[in-house]
Structure 1
């Protein structure tokens, strides 16, 4: 994720999670001595996968889904809602009721209560505050309406049928492992970190993953500053970092939205002796990586398609389908998405699902 608390605390699929693929599984029947061989060029026979996987993308019974998320006041949150709408539009059996984005906890609670009163079939919610929305989410579950919790967990796991999460610790690990490969054998390398807001668990998780990964190749964080997930905060924190560290070999910036300011500060300081890794996976960061002309060489994905994943999962739940590529009959309780590293070599694979900062 790209995260901001007061502006819509973000955390972190790119595209639709692979676990949501609904490709039918083909079962090939073996011949026995009592079974005649099939005629030459006869069409292959297929069998449905356990869990109703076969044909899961085919339109089914109408599903009405209520959707609520924080205000789209920056790129990652805007993409969450946009991607949810896009997936709903691609499924003719889905009617999506989208509540106005809000950073007012009481208003978001009221929105969920409206969905309950309207007797929607399912609710997909990225709560502004997971703990504050727990009671009303539990109320929906008690009313028989499955809740899909996106990105920010409720304080009671029984308040959601499914939780879709990014991997903040995994982001740090991916960034650290990439830097280790790029600085291989350089044990005296100077590594810097530009974090988000230190009081947030997501920032703490990212930093811990980064530290743990670096330690495995004999490196550590030599210089660290915290910003606030904004362009302005990123520029100010980076300016301070560059003044304090006359030599740097690699920087990990937690968030591509604040990365706009980070890169501005680097340009203003006329520094280019290091490589930089971003976080969240914005389109502008990926285009910069694609050009290969600046210090930004990679970014670590925190999927902005989690809301879209929630819509797909809600549809499957209501229609009593499983995930087409899994033998499991039911949709899982928790889906945690991967944090891949995007470089110039694979950027084309991810750019189409990236968000604009």
Structure 2
């Protein structure tokens, strides 16, 4: 599966690079251009601030890919919240970019500014947390979040032999969380021996997960908890702090996203983290690269008929037997 996933990503990158190489001249075009030389490209990038490990990785990859294209004018903004992101995008749109690559803080609240960009003729690439209205984006790049939820839930059910009490932690309101939870709940719901004691939204934030877990552990102090579906490695690390303070050593967790500290613990056989699941922050670089490749030779109208509108990156279960393939000690995440 990992080989197939890498092949798909590389094949997409090669195709996009080939499209760039086919240009006979010119360095850029407006999104609706039909060919020929046009003005230099301006690309706007809007992403959340690095408020936790995964988004810090997104920040790193967004900055790395910009170095590949020194001829492009970059408008690059990082936002602490939805309101700030909306304002930043409005300001960038006033500078008339050719493309907008956006990873939304939340799905839904930014649909309005997304539609404004579309009406302005901006080529829109949405990454990870998609718009609620899928018609807004010209291209949507995401991990397979339904598979993320399904595969991780199947692992939990299998390790528990179909019987056990479970806590479920959820991320921020978004298409990502919706899909992951839907995929997981379908599996849990098909196994009547799995009892979900509580579902808690902790927004992929370690500190919030720590505080929420403290409260939940008190609430269920008299009940057995067999495992925690933490969904996210940062949340898992926050929950771990609460477990340590409560002296709980009788359960295990499954996080997600392939954070190097967690992957190392899976690799070392830590019983608290028997497995993890991938979700690469480098997908932002994929989105930025495809935006550039699709626009810079001015032939977008000819590219649209065969360019997919939805690129979905597969996810893989990480266990001790294969964790070495996913451990990158020099990675920012």
Tell me the TM-score normalized by structure 1.
Answer: 0.71
Matched, 1:282 2:259: yes
Q: Would the alpha carbon gap of residues 201 and 163 (structure 1) be closer, same or farther in structure 2, given more than 3 Å must change?
A: closer
1:315 aligns with 2:292: yes
Higher relative contact order (Cα pairs below 8 Å, separated by 6+ residues): 1
Match of 1:238 in 2: 213
- Structure with the higher fraction of residues in helix conformation: 2
Would you say the 8 A contact 2:144–2:313 is kept in 1? yes
Q: Please, which of 63, 66, 74 is the counterpart of residue 52 of structure 2?
A: 74
TM-score (norm 2): 0.76
What is the rounded CA distance, in whole Å, between the counterparts of 1:130 and 1:211 in structure 2? 20
Among candidates 207, 210, 213, match of residue 187 of structure 2: 213
Local SS of the residue matching 2:274: strand
Select which of 21, 24, 29 maps to 2:10: 21
Secondary structure at the counterpart of residue 153 of structure 1: coil
Larger Rg over CA atoms? 1
Offset at 1:311? 0.4
C-alpha separation between the residues in 2 aligned to 1:336 and 1:232? 30
1:349 to 287, 309, 325: 325
Change (3 A) 1:138 1:203: closer
Q: Judging changes above 3 Å, is the alpha-carbon distance between structure 1 residues 266 and 114 closer, same or farther for their aligned structure 2 residues?
A: closer
Spell out the pairing of 1:7-156 with structure 2 (5 A cutoff): 19-22=8-11, 54=18, 61=27, 63-91=41-69, 94-105=72-83, 107-156=84-133
1:166 offset after TM fit, Å? 3.3
Match of 1:331 among 295, 307, 321: 307
> Does the CA contact (< 8 Å) of 2:82 and 2:106 recur in 1?
no
Q: How many Å apart are 1:197 and its aligned residue?
A: 5.8
Q: Is the 8 A contact 2:130 2:175 kept in 1?
A: no
Distance 1:309 1:23 in 2: 9
The RMSD of aligned alpha carbons is 3.7
The answer on whether the counterparts of 2:165 and 2:224 sit within 8 Å (CA) in structure 1 is no
> Any residues of structure 2 matched to 1:134-213 within 5 Å, and which?
134-183=111-160, 186-187=161-162, 189-196=163-170, 202-203=176-177, 205-213=179-187
Unaligned 5+ runs, structure 2: 29-40
Maintained 8 Å contact 1:69/1:102: no
Q: 1:137 to 1:272 in 2, by over 3 A?
A: same
Deviations along 1:12-69, whole A, 9 cap, x unmatched? Answer: x9xx9754424899xxxxxxxxxxxxxxxxxxxxxxxxx7774768998354321011
CA gap of 1:354–1:251, structure 2 versus 1, over 3 A, is farther
Secondary structure of the 1:195 match is strand
Q: Report the equivalent of 2:35.
A: none
1:98 partner SS: strand
Q: 1:191 to 1:140 in 2, by over 3 A?
A: same
